[in-house]
Structures are given as C-alpha cells and as structure tokens.
Amino acid sequence: MATVHLDHLAGRRVFWEHGRSIGYMEEIIAKRDGSDLVVTEFHVGIFAAFERLSASTIGTALLDFFALRQREGLYRIPWDKLDISDPTRPRLLCREEELAAFKAQPEDK
C-alpha cells in the first residue's frame, strides 16, 4: 500500500470518474485507534471550510449571522468512497445518486 501525505490532499478538487468536480477537500477527519489515527471521512464542498469556524464561539456566531450552517454544499465522504491513490486528483468511488446520502444536514453541524 502506498503512503499518502494528507497535507497533499487538503485544498484539492475532488472529481467524479468522468472528470466533473464536486468541490474542494477542506477537512480530513480521523479517529484514534490505539496509537494510530485512522481516517474516517473527508469533508468536501464550498461550505466545508466554514465548518472549521464553528469550533469557536465567534465562528459559530458568524455562520449563524450569514445562515451558512443551513446551506447546502458540504459532503461528508466516507473514507472508502474516495480514491486518493493520486493525491493530486482525488476521485469519488460512488455513483452520483449515492452522493446525496453524504450531504451534510443542518443538524450535523
């Protein structure tokens, strides 16, 4: 298995296999598993970057003021639905119909 440096993925466009982009990779979520960190999901889309702001009180207030937490455009892609073997061009491994299931809901904040 090849090693992929996660910092090479941040900010990259994520593509369908036919070349259309669904947005930029903004967050990589990992959980601790013993002494390892295991990637569980990738956050992709125009509002994924704003999600980082919600960790602070000021960020949450800004998101609420501009009603950004209710907007569409954030996908939470499970680790096994993204091919990162070419970190310069991450590619979805699911059909377009499946993507709707990964769209973040307002209660996911």
Residue 97 identity (one-letter amino acid): E
Per-residue pLDDT reduced to its tens digit, 63-87:
666 665 554 568 899 999 999 999 9
Asked if pLDDT for residue 52 goes beyond 60, the answer is: no
Model-wide pTM > 0.85: no
Q: Which two tokens stand for residue 100?
A: 């709707």
Find where tokens 């699911």 sit: 94
For residues 43 and 46, give the distance between their C-alpha atoms in angstroms, rounded to a whole number. Answer: 10
Least confident of 2-6, 14-18, 47-51: 47-51
- Please give the average per-residue pLDDT across 42-68, as a whole number: 63
Q: Give the class (CATH, top level) of 6-96.
A: mainly beta
> Where do the structural domains in the chain lie, given as residue ranges?
6-96
CB-based contact 15:5 (threshold 8 Å): no
Give the whole-angstrom CA distance, residue 65 versus residue 76.
23
